[in-house]
């Protein structure tokens, strides 16, 4: 479980770094790394954000983040479900 959380956190953080590095000079909606991190968190959870990428690299990251999020979050659901199933079977 810890490896899963670390993987999702690091992927989101690295995506925010890439987005920030590519977009900070050309995207007027992006003003700080905190906003880039918010953008990455919202996109990995497939909620979306009000900051839209303008560079090609930013657009690629914007497409990859929700795809990875859609793969990671069902795995999290399985972890939680199996934890509770195990607790029920131990009773």
pLDDT in tens, 14-48: 999 999 999 999 999 999 999 999 999 999 988 88
With cut-offs at 50, 70 and 90, classify the pLDDT of residue 91. Answer: low
d(CA 43, CA 72): 13
HSE-up (13 A, CA, CB side) for residue 22? 17
Find the CATH number of the domain harbouring 45.
Answer: 1.10.287.70
Q: Based on the structure, what is the number of domains in the chain?
A: 1
What is the average pLDDT across 48-76? 91
Q: Supply the mean pLDDT for the chain.
A: 90
Q: How confident is the model at residue 76 (pLDDT cuts 50, 70, 90)?
A: confident
Which pLDDT value is given to residue 20? 97
Out of 4-13, 31-40, 80-89, least confident range: 80-89
Q: How confident is the model at residue 87 (pLDDT cuts 50, 70, 90)?
A: confident
Structural domain harbouring 71 = 2-90
The first and second tokens of residue 34, run together, are 């905190």
């Amino acid at each position: 479980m810890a490896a899963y959380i670390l993987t999702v956190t690091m992927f989101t953080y690295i995506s925010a770094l890439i987005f920030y590095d590519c977009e900070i000079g050309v995207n007027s909606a992006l003003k700080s790394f905190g906003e880039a991190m918010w953008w990455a968190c919202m996109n990995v959870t497939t909620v979306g954000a009000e900051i839209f990428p303008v560079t090609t690299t930013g657009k690629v990251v914007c497409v990859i983040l929700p795809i990875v999020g859609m793969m990671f979050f069902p795995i999290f659901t399985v972890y939680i479900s199996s934890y509770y199933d195990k607790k029920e079977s131990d009773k």
